[in-house]
Structure 1
Amino acid sequence: MDVVGLGALNLDIIYRVDFENLPQVKKGEEKKIDEEDISFIKRLLEKKGRLITKSGGGSAANTIYALSRMGFSCGFAGRVGEDEEGDFLLQDLMAAGVDTTGILREGKTGICFILVDKKGERSILVVPGTNDNLLPHQVDMDYINRAKILHTTSFIGNTSFQTQKKIVLRAKPLISFDPGQPHANKGWNELFPILQRTHILFSTEREVEIITYDSFKEGCRRMVRGGVKIVVCKMGEEGSWIITREKEIFIPSRKVKSVDTTGAGDVYAAGFLAGFLNKLSLIECGKLGTYAAAISIAGFGREKYPGRKILQDFLQE
């Protein structure tokens, strides 16, 4: 296989909202909510928002989904529930060509309420469900080690985070890591065992600052000194930076109309990894990531994720 993902698997329930009518939610935040609050959140959103769609989600899963659509051989290791939501997520991944034999079924599927305003800006309310209970013995290392790259992203719960660290330390493939806000909040010391094994790190400007207690540029350099080979700092409309020991490369963004920015960074990672697997230069990897992300934000959820033609057209250029 080319890439195996390790991370949370969620059902994304996407609502159009006006954040001015939802003082309970801060624009741009991602926070955990308890299962007993689901009914309240649903009632609130049905009253103050409009249901747009339901989609498969989870950061690593989004990246793997996009890579598989682009023609790469991909699999996933994680957990979904023994419920209708779990059925939906597995069928969605399989429809994109993702191997799901590394996914365990147990408990209740994780849910993300994604609130998107008319500008495409969003907030995420997470109910982790079974994602919080991943244990080391539930991850098949032979399955992980079949891949060229292990792409892993954040879990909300500490049990799965500790499992993630153990898997990364034992894994043979190159490590691609996107900590996201939940892991960034854990700080440098907690993340260092993963960072020192990471070949490619994907992170936002703010996440780098949180992890390193430094400006994003100095923070990226610190991560490189700590063992990361390639740091990719995603900055949305402001472009991205690729930083290694030898180079610091700026990639401008593409100006497009945004419908939903949810998952754009995950698709950027997919595009970058697609370039990396095709042995493109770092500049071209960044351009392909930017191109893929720009395409993805034209729709809700995964409906506009790039496919084989996008990759083929880019490679021909």
Structure 2
Amino acid sequence: MSSAHRWTIRQWFLSTPRGKRSNGMDVIGLGRFVVDMFAGEWDRPIREVDSFLKYPGGAPANVVVALARLGVRTGLISRVGNDEFGIYLVDFLRKEGIDTTHVGFDSERRTSLSFCGTARFGDFPFFQYGEPGPNLRLRPADISEGYIKKARILFTSGTIFSASPSREAGLTALSCARKNQVITAFDINYREGFWESRDVARVHYKLILGLSDVVFGTNAELGYVGGNEDVDRAAAGILELGAKMVCVKFGERGSRIFTQSETIDIPAFQVEPFDCSGAGDSYNAGFLYGPLKGWNLRRCGEFASAVSAIVVTRRGASVATPTLAEVEAFLNSYRR
């Protein structure tokens, strides 16, 4: 493909009305908002843990918090229980300067809790309580087209689509965004226990991917929803569904960005990890910061890797996310 026809994120983003200007939020997150209860002791089974630390959690919430700390105007569409945990979550967002006008309180369901084991390397176990929780009770009527159409990016993730009525609410939101030329970003975030079956999940993922401009996922998730263990072929299949780009996260091995015209490998920064639980969400946030600034794909990926690298050296997910000054200082230290 000639250079004249090479697609760039900056050209695509600036070609949309919302890319040129916005009188609303820069980024709206949609979906899961829960309390993460992280084990106070490392590398031990949950049954042997004596204490837990409370943090706000859920992929969309983590992403908007990370972006807010980078100076981006963000809001969240979700539901929490009308209880102490729900109040804690909403208060946290408000203190971070995030718009909460579309976070509802549910009087019938308690706020969901996610008990997480902690491990410095590899996977960490987690157990869900209070599911299906309030965020899975979002309804299409809770989705405001007027709110979404003023945004520049709508970000969501897989769990909200795992059950009704939140599945229909999510599809309504994506449709509103597409109708109003708002960029849609989606993290596969596949959690088997949330879905009725693997077959049901695959059917709905195919529909959602067809409504998503930017798709994030791990190499394992991409192979699952893309129907091919070969990451390159799986990404090509998702691009054929209509996505503009696919970002595959390989953890400490970096990431790979696919578009119809190019593939870019982004190395990971070498740091000593402390807690990897927020690595993926912080990468997503860092990447989405780029198009708001008109950056090219490589710069988006490198910035995302830097944000993620900082987060894994700290404890927690959303609370560990850095400020813009911290990310710039980190990048400058590697350029010397």
Q: 1:162 aligns with which of 168, 175, 178?
A: 168
Give the gaps of 5 or more residues in structure 1. Answer: 23-44
Alignment match of 1:241 (pick from 238, 256, 281): 256
Gaps of 5+ in 2: 1-24
Task: Supply the distance in 1 between the matched residues of 2:273 and 2:53 (Cα, whole angstroms).
Answer: 16
1:262 match: secondary structure: coil
8 Å CA contact 1:70, 1:310 repeated in 2: no
Q: Which amino acid aligns with 1:230?
A: M
2:224 to 193, 198, 210: 210
Deviates most, 154-163 or 97-106: 154-163
Which consecutive aligned stretches of 4+ in structure 1 deviate over 2 angstroms post-superposition? 16-19, 117-121, 154-157, 182-189, 310-317
Offset at 1:197? 2.0
| Bigger Cα displacement from structure 2, 260-269 vs 179-188 | 179-188
Give the counterpart letter for 1:123 in structure 2. P
Aligned residues: 293
Alpha-carbon contact 1:115-1:124 (below 8 Å) kept: yes
Does 2:183 correspond to 1:181?
no
Secondary structure class of the residue paired with 2:260:
coil
The answer for the alignment partner of 2:204 in structure 1 is 190
- CA RMSD of superposed structures (Å): 2.1
Identity %: 30
Amino acid of the structure 2 residue aligned with 1:82: N
Q: 2:30 corresponds to which residue?
A: 6
Does residue 1:307 correspond to 2:332, yes or no? no
TM norm structure 1: 0.86
What CA deviation, in whole Å up to 9, does each residue of 1:64-108 have, x standing for no partner?
000001100000101011001011101111111110001010031
User: Matched residues in 2 for 1:314 and 1:262: separation?
Assistant: 20
Structure 1 position 57, deviation (Å): 0.4
**Worse-matched range after superposition: 307-316 or 200-209:** 307-316
Give the secondary-structure state (helix, strand or coil) at the position aligned to 1:198: coil
Give, as a single letter, the amino acid of the residue that structure 2 aligns with 1:71.
G
Whole-angstrom distance in 1 between the partners of 2:298 and 2:52: 36
- Alignment deviations for residues 208-255 of structure 1 (CA, whole Å, 9 cap, x no partner): 111122022110011011101010001101110000000000001111
Equivalent-residue separation in structure 2 for 1:277 and 1:258 (angstroms):
29
1:258 to 257, 263, 273: 273
Match of 2:124 in 1: 122
1:121-178 alpha-carbon deviations (Å, 9 max, x no partner):
4122123321221110012221122210000112264111232122212223110000
TM-score, L = length of structure 2: 0.82
Structure 1 match to 2:149: 145
Counterparts in 2 of 1:286 and 1:249: CA distance versus 1, 3 Å: same
Q: Counterparts of 1:35-54 in structure 2 under 5 Å? A: 45=46, 48-54=48-54
Deviations 1:192-213 (CA, angstroms, capped at 9, x unpaired): 2221221111111000111122
The one-letter code sitting in structure 2 at the alignment partner of 1:4 is I
Q: Which amino acid aligns with 1:68?
A: A
1:132 to 136, 151, 155: 136
